[in-house]
Amino acid sequence: MAESSAAVALLALRCPRCHRGPLFKYSALHLTRFDDMYEACLECGQHYEPEVGFYWGAMYVSYGFSVGIVVAVGVLLYYLAHDPPVWVYVTTVALTILLLTPLLFRYARAVMLYFFGGIRYRPQS
């Protein structure tokens, strides 16, 4: 997968340097291993952890994603379910966040790596 678009590569969870190598070892549906990342790109050898503790910042990215989901679910429930009781909001938001946790984790790490990892795209790496 030789993509020249960083947005497409990020959405596909590919290496920020070559846009070909995968970031994660297993599918997001593998619930016990969805968080296992490769240490380095299988295609170009780019190391995926620029410094120790780098991914602590992904918590803030994930928090931002979660806030967006809470707002979106809240607005949808308000308009589509005609302002249901509070327990419906809480239950729906909690289940949505729980079900999306593997994706939130992965995309928070990918955003950290792409935007704050200092890695530039080099197609012939």
| SS3 track for 23-85 | CECCCCCCCCCCCCECCECCCCCCECCCCCCHHHHHHHHHHHHHHHHHHHHHHHHHHHCCCCC
Give the integer Cα–Cα distance in Å for 110 and 10: 6
Q: Where are the domains of the chain?
A: 6-116
**What's the whole-model pTM score?**
0.87
Give the integer Cα–Cα distance in Å for 104 and 63: 9
Mean pLDDT of the chain, nearest integer: 92
Predicted local distance difference test score (pLDDT) of residue 47: 93
Average pLDDT over residues 86-98: 96
Using left for φ > 0, alpha for ψ between -120 and 50, and beta otherwise, residue 2 falls in beta
SS3 call for 22: strand
Predicted local distance difference test score (pLDDT) of residue 88: 96
Predicted local distance difference test score (pLDDT) of residue 3: 44
Predicted local distance difference test score (pLDDT) of residue 123: 79
pLDDT digits over 29-76, tens only? 998 999 999 999 999 999 999 888 999 999 999 999 999 999 999 999
Average pLDDT over residues 94-111: 96
Is it the case that residue 125 has pLDDT exceeding 70? Answer: no
